[in-house]
Structure 1
Amino acid sequence: MTHRIKWLLMLGVLLLATATAVVWLNVRGEAPLSDAPPQAPTDAATIERGRQLATVGNCQTCHTARGGAPYAGGRGIATPFGTVYAGNLTPDPTHGLGQWNSDAFWRALHHGRSRDGRLLYPAFPYNNTTLVSREDSDALYAYLRSLPAVPQPNRAHELDWPYSTQAALAVWRALYFRPGAYAPQTQHSAEWNRGAYLVQGLAHCSACHAPRNALGANSNMLDLAGGLIPLQNWYAPSLNAPREAGLQDWPLEHIVALFRDGRAPGAQVTGPMAEVVQHSTQHWTDTDLRAMATYLKALPRVDTPPPQAQRPTPSRTLDLGAQLYGQHCAACHGDAGEGVPDAYPPLAGNRAVLMASPANLVQTVLNGGFSPATAAHPRPYGMPPYLLTLSDADIAAVLTHVRRSWGNQADAVSELDVLNLRGTARR
């Protein structure tokens, strides 16, 4: 009995120490909120800078429900743990930021904690916004306070237990969140540092391009090594690997064009990245676009081996793929996968075709591929969806044909690959 009591005491001490560590890790660096009243913005230049920063962060896209008032919240963000609903960022005094002062807003960005003390869910990317400077936070606050107040109530999150609890969130944050600040790298130029500040911070590129574990996290939440976007089943390719989406070998002008116009020589954006260009990067200043391009071009290079065809494919599958390609694809992409300049991308040698993960190809065939409308391409060409036209076996066959033709040597796509990517995506 004495031995058992001793072990129970030791377990109790361990649990208490763990709980104390979790609490400390969640409050470290936080200063008490001031009781200053909310400030009405008056400086037009600060408001305009805040508007530009909100565009960099693509804040309106998440904080605007379909058909709803801008920034009034209500959009559901599906996660593997349930649905998180974006909050109302208008200055409404009951449901929005009307009672928030600039200190409370800064605490939300920097510490991931709401005005009332609640820990925020990381669907709001505070692992990135913690790097935003206080000056930029105040400019964002001034812009949001200048918006029309919308009395739109916030929707309660619909999360599974225990992910819905503050205790579980506190443990997650203790493991994966560290409040910080951007530290300029003196060995790099001011332009590089500006690009790093944007990419790592408010633009939160790693929210999609970081690989995630079962808890939706990474030991380095600023990692850009690529990963499958949960539930969307689009693959955000590595920004370090030139065989995926690395830009180390691109001219700066082409990188700028890709983010400003949605396309560059031999490349165009589609899927979730098309939404980013549509609502955010095409509206950046030329200075910020070039800074981002400078930083992305200088990312450490990871040279991956060339793609190889590993799985044997029955000849009947290859024959079916060639037949389907001729029926549905060749009119736009060409008999030899050469594409049409400024209209339809080439498939021969296309690195999106050759990536190890076929996720983006499957999603494009299922749901269509559409570039963003930009000033340079106001009426872009698109690809229709084949969700109701082709079976999983058909899609696997035609994609295998594309990945094995015209010098392409990527692995085959199986019917099971298509089933997995189609069946688990929430839309």
Structure 2
Amino acid sequence: MRRLLYTLIALAALLVLAALGLVALNLRGEDPLPETPAAFTSTPALVERGRYLALAGNCAGCHTARGGAPYAGGIGIATPFGTVFASNLTPHEEAGIGRWSPAHFWRALHNGRSKDGRLLYPAFPYPSFTHITREDSDAIYAYLRTVPAAATPNAPHRLRFPYDTQAALAVWRALFFTPGTFTPDASKTAEWNRGAYLVEGLGHCIACHGTRNVLGATEEKLGLGGGLIPVENWYAPSLSSKHEAGVSDWDTQHVVALLKTGTSPRGSVMGPMADVVYGSTQHLSDADLQAMAVFLKQLPESSPKRDASASPARRDAGVMARGAKIYDQQCAYCHGDAGQGAQGAYPPLAGNRAVLMDSPANLVQVLRHGGFLPATAGNPRPYGMPPFGHVLDDDGIATVLTYIRGAWGNDAPAVSRAQILRPS
């Protein structure tokens, strides 16, 4: 009995130490809030700066529901663990952040903690926003104080157990989150550092273009190496590989054009990135877009996932013949008999790196649901691709994509029916 008692005491002590360690890890980098909030003085210039920064961070993309009041929240963000609902950021005192101080707002961005001390879910990308400066946080706060107050209540998250508990979130944060600051690289130019700040912090590009582990945390060591966006089944291609979406060999002006208009001589955007261009990057200054382009062009090149020197893939002649027939009936009118496309209207499919990527996920999405460029000031009436999900079944989609990825000199792996059902 005595040995059992000692064992229980030791286990209890270990549990207490583990709990204390968990609390300490979740409080690292966090300054205590002042007992009496300091007076906050806003100016029109600060508000305008905050409006611009909110656009750069694409805050409305999650916090403004279609047809709803600006920044009133309500959008459900689907995750593998359930649905997280974006909160109300208007100055409404009950439903919004009207009773928040600038310090509360800064703590949410920097530490991922709400006004009442609750830990926030990383669907709100505070692992990136932690790099935002206090000055920029205060500017965004000043701007949000000026938007019309909306009484839209915050919807409760719908997450499965145990992901709906603060304890599970504390463990996740202890493992995967450390508050940080943006530290300029003295060996780089001011322009490069500005681009790094926008891409890695405010723009939170890694939230889509990063690889995630089984618990939903981005693999920081892999950087912007690409990854499948959970639930949405769009693949955000690697920004560090010229075989996917890397721009190291692009002219800077073409990178700027892509971010500003959604299209350039070297490529165009669809899917979630079209939403980013529409709601965020098209509104940025040319100087900031130039800085982002400079940073992206200098990302270290990652190795291609496939060996370009490997022998051409073997293809089933019957599948290729059936795919050619579908292509002739459904695709050739716009994309050309030889996949050459039409300049300024329909992209070429021959040699198109979006076609040749290992993952066919985006091709499946575009073929099934259609694909549309964003309407921007520089490209107000973009061409789009209609959906074919009502015309082609899963086998038909797999067959025509296999043909496209193996015709006209293309040499990408065939697409299976299993990949249509579960893109990879």
TM-score normalised to structure 1 length: 0.95
Matched, 1:186 2:176: no
1:165-223 deviation line (CA, Å, top 9, x unaligned): 00000000000000010000000000000000111101000000110111001342882
SS at match of 1:93: coil
The partner residue of 1:386 within 379, 385, 388 is 388
* Alignment-derived partner of residue 246 in structure 1: 246
Deviation at 1:12, TM superposition (A): 3.1
* Alignment-derived partner of residue 357 in structure 2: 355
- Shift of the 47–409 alpha-carbon distance from structure 1 to 2, 3 Å rule, reads same
C-alpha distance in structure 1 between counterparts of 2:328 and 2:38, whole Å: 63
1:73 and 1:86 in contact (8 A); partners too: yes
* Alignment-derived partner of residue 91 in structure 2: 91
C-alpha distance in structure 1 between counterparts of 2:218 and 2:181, whole Å: 19
* Alignment-derived partner of residue 325 in structure 2: 323
2:92 and 2:149 in contact (8 A); partners too: yes
SS at match of 1:218: coil
Deviation at 1:306, TM superposition (A): 2.3
- Shift of the 7–36 alpha-carbon distance from structure 1 to 2, 3 Å rule, reads closer
Counterpart of 2:18, as a letter, is: T
C-alpha distance in structure 2 between counterparts of 1:337 and 1:273, whole Å: 24
Structural mapping, 1:54-65, within 5 Å: 54-65=54-65
1:210 and 1:218 in contact (8 A); partners too: yes
* Alignment-derived partner of residue 213 in structure 1: 213
Matched, 1:124 2:124: yes
* Alignment-derived partner of residue 11 in structure 1: 11
Structural mapping, 1:363-382, within 5 Å: 363-382=365-384
Deviation at 1:36, TM superposition (A): 4.2
* Alignment-derived partner of residue 306 in structure 1: 308
Deviation at 1:308, TM superposition (A): 5.9
- Shift of the 41–390 alpha-carbon distance from structure 1 to 2, 3 Å rule, reads farther
1:69-96 deviation line (CA, Å, top 9, x unaligned): 1100111000011110000000001111
Deviation at 1:66, TM superposition (A): 1.8
Counterpart of 2:236, as a letter, is: A
* Alignment-derived partner of residue 421 in structure 1: 423
Counterpart of 1:338, as a letter, is: Q
* Alignment-derived partner of residue 197 in structure 1: 197
* Alignment-derived partner of residue 288 in structure 1: 288
- Shift of the 9–307 alpha-carbon distance from structure 1 to 2, 3 Å rule, reads farther
C-alpha distance in structure 2 between counterparts of 1:242 and 1:323, whole Å: 32
C-alpha distance in structure 2 between counterparts of 1:121 and 1:221, whole Å: 21
Counterpart of 2:333, as a letter, is: A
2:104 and 2:115 in contact (8 A); partners too: yes
* Alignment-derived partner of residue 279 in structure 1: 279
Identity %: 57
* Alignment-derived partner of residue 405 in structure 2: 403
SS at match of 1:410: coil
1:277-301 deviation line (CA, Å, top 9, x unaligned): 0110010011110000000000011
* Alignment-derived partner of residue 425 in structure 1: none
Deviation at 1:417, TM superposition (A): 0.7
SS at match of 2:423: helix
| Count of residues in correspondence between the two structures | 422
Deviation at 1:147, TM superposition (A): 0.9
C-alpha distance in structure 1 between counterparts of 2:371 and 2:45, whole Å: 39
Counterpart of 2:358, as a letter, is: A
Deviation at 1:310, TM superposition (A): 7.4
Name whichever of 214-223 and 263-272 sits farther off: 214-223
Deviation at 1:32, TM superposition (A): 2.0
* Alignment-derived partner of residue 342 in structure 1: 344
Counterpart of 2:85, as a letter, is: Y
1:225 and 1:239 in contact (8 A); partners too: yes
1:40 and 1:145 in contact (8 A); partners too: no
- Shift of the 221–46 alpha-carbon distance from structure 1 to 2, 3 Å rule, reads farther
Deviation at 1:2, TM superposition (A): 5.4
1:22 and 1:170 in contact (8 A); partners too: yes
Deviation at 1:315, TM superposition (A): 2.1
Counterpart of 2:58, as a letter, is: N
1:383-417 deviation line (CA, Å, top 9, x unaligned): 00111110110000100010001110000001111
Deviation at 1:311, TM superposition (A): 6.5
SS at match of 2:78: strand
Counterpart of 2:327, as a letter, is: Y
Deviation at 1:151, TM superposition (A): 1.1
- Shift of the 161–309 alpha-carbon distance from structure 1 to 2, 3 Å rule, reads farther
Counterpart of 1:255, as a letter, is: V
1:309 and 1:404 in contact (8 A); partners too: no
* Alignment-derived partner of residue 173 in structure 1: 173
Deviation at 1:37, TM superposition (A): 5.4
1:37-94 deviation line (CA, Å, top 9, x unaligned): 5867640111000000000000011001121011001110000111100000000011
Counterpart of 1:95, as a letter, is: A
C-alpha distance in structure 2 between counterparts of 1:103 and 1:400, whole Å: 54
C-alpha distance in structure 2 between counterparts of 1:253 and 1:93, whole Å: 45
C-alpha distance in structure 2 between counterparts of 1:330 and 1:39, whole Å: 65
C-alpha distance in structure 2 between counterparts of 1:250 and 1:330, whole Å: 28
Q: Which runs of 5+ in 1 are unaligned?
A: 423-427
Counterpart of 2:289, as a letter, is: L
1:354-380 deviation line (CA, Å, top 9, x unaligned): 101110111110110100111121000
Counterpart of 2:326, as a letter, is: L
